[in-house]
Amino acid sequence: MEQQDIRILFLGTAPFAARHLVFLVEAGYSVVGVVTTPDRPAGRGHKLQPSPVKEEALRLGLSIWQPERLRDEAFLAEMRALRPTLGVVIAFRMLPEELWAMPDLGTVNIHASLLPRWRGAAPINHALMAGDKETGVSLFRLTKGLDEGQVLGQRTLPIEENTLFGDLYDSLAEEGVLLLGDFLQACREGEMPEGVPQPEGANEPYAHKLTKENTRIDWNRSAREIHNFVRGLSPVPTAWTTLLSPNHGEPLTYKLFVTRVVSEESLPKGTAPGTVLPSPRHSLHVATGGGILAIEELQAPAKKRLPIAAFLNGVQLGEGALFE
């Protein structure tokens, strides 16, 4: 079977998915259709913006569908007319069975975790926030359950102590491309991998969707936990906190991008978590529920992201400053 004989229906939205779409086209596979989300308002002007997958599909000259409803009969009829051999879905939404069961070989998904760990919407963020030492990508067959189908292949990647979400996102996208390429090569050779069922009732953590509420820093946690929390959200959607300072009127909201664990030893009794501590020159040390954390890059309201030395050049926090 040649690349052109595998008629791929691709479904995705995010940059992670877009990289896989580019790979498929550049490798010579026949992408017969691309399904992505409708254009959405974004930015200060609230102008309609296409998804990263749509942008690449336009550049590559592919046919694009942007249905509001995936169960729409007219849309499903158009998908059937494409006669897809294989569906590939990455960073998209739940598909109805009428769609994922349509291709001759079914539909596969690339998920950015080592399933069954971190099923759900934000697996890369949660792996970092939890302090995991390794993660990876899984290719699995779509079924009715969320991220529960038979695993057809995995690639593992170590996580370094200070790895940020943005860097791990890029690395896992590269691993996903390699995993998808191996799978498609096996299909071409008539050797589709045997799927391995995921353990039923696996007691693994779930990667819940990230919101404004669950990305706020809790200074009662340890310095290590907060460091992991910040790097798991950097650069997006970004961990945030408020600062109370005698030199500021109202509490101000700050976004934190880079931190460093200074100490994991207990602080003197009575030191409130979030307290700005006496710090070396061009440094900002903060007390936590377990140790000291250095803030190395942050962003003040309506300002640019800055390294801490540049930030401190223009700000006097004053004695008694407190993050909360």
The pLDDT value given to residue 125: 98
Tell me the CA distances in angstroms from 130 to 201, 222, 228, 233, 252, one per residue in order: 21, 12, 7, 12, 27
What's the burial of 200, exposed, middle or buried (CB within 10 Å: 0-12/13-18/19+)? exposed
CA 82: distance to chain centroid?
31
The pLDDT value given to residue 218: 98
What topology is assigned to 213-323 in CATH? Methionyl-tRNA Fmet Formyltransferase; Chain A, domain 2 (3.10.25)
The pLDDT value given to residue 145: 78
Q: How far apart are CA 307 and CA 100, in angstroms?
A: 46
β strands within 2-106, DSSP E: 7-12, 30-35, 40-42, 47-49, 64-65, 86-90
Domain boundaries, the chain: 3-206, 213-323
Average pLDDT over residues 69-95: 96
Full-model pTM: 0.94
Q: How far apart are CA 175 and CA 171, in angstroms?
A: 6
What topology is assigned to 3-206 in CATH? Rossmann fold (3.40.50)
Interstrand relation of 322-323 and 239-244 (parallel, antiparallel or unpaired): antiparallel
* Least reliable range by pLDDT among 35-44, 192-201, 250-259, 297-306: 192-201
Q: How far apart are CA 292 and CA 226, in angstroms?
A: 10
pLDDT at 147 over 70: yes
Tell me the CA distances in angstroms from 27 to 170, 240, 293, one per residue in order: 20, 41, 46
Task: Decide: helix, strand or coil at residue 187.
Answer: helix
Residue 82 has a CB neighbour count (10 Å cut-off) of 16
Average pLDDT over residues 79-100: 96
pLDDT at 44 over 80: no
Cis peptide before 123 (omega within 30 of 0): no
Q: What pLDDT band is residue 85 in, cutting at 50, 70 and 90?
A: very high
Residue 253 has a CB neighbour count (10 Å cut-off) of 13
Q: What pLDDT band is residue 3 in, cutting at 50, 70 and 90?
A: low
Mind listing the pLDDT tens digit for each residue in 233-286?
Answer: 999 999 999 999 877 778 999 999 999 999 999 898 889 999 999 989 899 999
Mind listing the pLDDT tens digit for each residue in 184-224?
Answer: 999 888 888 889 998 876 789 999 999 999 999 999 999 99
pLDDT at 226 over 80: yes
Mind listing the pLDDT tens digit for each residue in 167-195?
Answer: 999 999 999 999 999 999 998 888 888 89
User: Of 265, 230, 240, which Cα lies nearest the Cα of 323?
Assistant: 240
Handedness of CA 252, 258, 262, 266 (dihedral sign): positive
The pLDDT value given to residue 201: 67
Average pLDDT over residues 24-35: 97
